[in-house]
Copies of this chain bind each other. A is one copy, B any other.
Amino acid sequence: MTATVDGNAAIDRLRMQNAAVPEAGATLTIADIAERTGVTAHTLRYYERIGLLDVERDGAGHRVYGPAEYRRVVFLNRMRMTGMPIRELQRYVALVREGEQTMPERLALMLAHREAVRRQLAELTFALETIDFKITAYGGDCPV
């Protein structure tokens, strides 16, 4: 993972994920996916174990990832970044497997999560004021 000017590892990862989308028909190993997404092989196996990923095996029993799996990993990673619990992701993935008729429910899940993220943003912004206040206070004196 290469560092960029702002030095934000998570944002770097997001940029990397956008840049490293495999072309249609490509087949990738677990190491490839780990490198391209920044999700460790251990975690990829863990995600598969708990039902977040479905991955084929080659003749040697090794995992074979394609663009669809790549996109899934990136999606999972972003939802985790925004604090979506594993349990909810399991529910979402289960709905995807059930087929098109679950699209309204999936949409509802995403809408609810968007609200959760917006609340999170509001909280962070609010709490940031306390930090700013603290920093300003260190110009004078600082209680606590």
Chain A residues within 8 Å of chain B by Cβ, number:
42
In whole angstroms, what is the CA distance A120 to B124 when docked? 8
Q: Are B126 and A117 in contact (CB under 8 A)?
A: no
Chain B residues lying within 8 Å of A127, measured Cβ to Cβ, are: 14, 78-79, 81-82, 117
Decide if the interface of chain A is mainly helix, strand, loop or mixed: helix
A106/B138 contact (C-beta < 8 A), A82-B128, A117-B127, A131-B114 known: yes
Contact of A71 with B by CB under 8 A: yes
Q: Are A130 and B78 in contact (CB under 8 A)?
A: yes
Chain B residue nearest to A103 in the complex (CB): B138
Q: Among residues 1 to 37 in chain A, which have CB atoms less than 8 Å away from a CB atom of chain B?
A: 6, 8, 10-11, 14
By Cβ-Cβ distance, the 9 closest A-B pairs, closest first, are: A107-B138, A78-B130, A82-B127, A10-B123, A78-B127, A8-B119, A114-B131, A81-B127, A72-B144
